[in-house]
Amino acid sequence: MNRCPPDIQVKIFTLACTDGGRTGCALSLVSHQIRASSSLVRFYTISLYGIPRMRLFLNTVGDKVSCPIITHLFLYDGGREGRPYFGECALSVVTSIVSIFSPFLKTLSGSLVWVGATYTSLLPTGIELWFLQELSLNVSPAL
């Protein structure tokens, strides 16, 4: 069997995993080898809609030995539609996600008004955004 070299696989997976996570999830189900090969870039672009999904994602990432690298992150708290109550510590869930993945982010965007996020709460002193190229967040005004 002729196998593709690992560096070529990573390039292919990097190009494929730009749709918010769906392709990365599908790749992880193909085989153990593909799951292992795509693990570095499977989460290249992530879109999380709603605090429950953010909590689930944070718990999933917390269970991993090594943290995935996310380059493009879109977070939307869900707004008022459906659930005005986001549960305990909704803002800390969002802040944890941003702080964990901040060293790798090129894009950080979304809307986090309804959890009460401000730029100061999301990006406190000590958060490093070395590679950030685009910041487009709708947040609450600082009080």
- Tell me the H-state helices in 31-72: 32-38, 51-62
Find the helix packing angle between 90-101 and 51-62, rounded to 10°: 50
Q: pTM of the prediction? A: 0.74
* Mean pLDDT for the stretch of residues 112-132: 88
Contact present, 94 and 58 (Cβ < 8 Å): no
Q: In the predicted model, what is the mean pLDDT of the chain?
A: 79
Predicted pLDDT at 114: 85
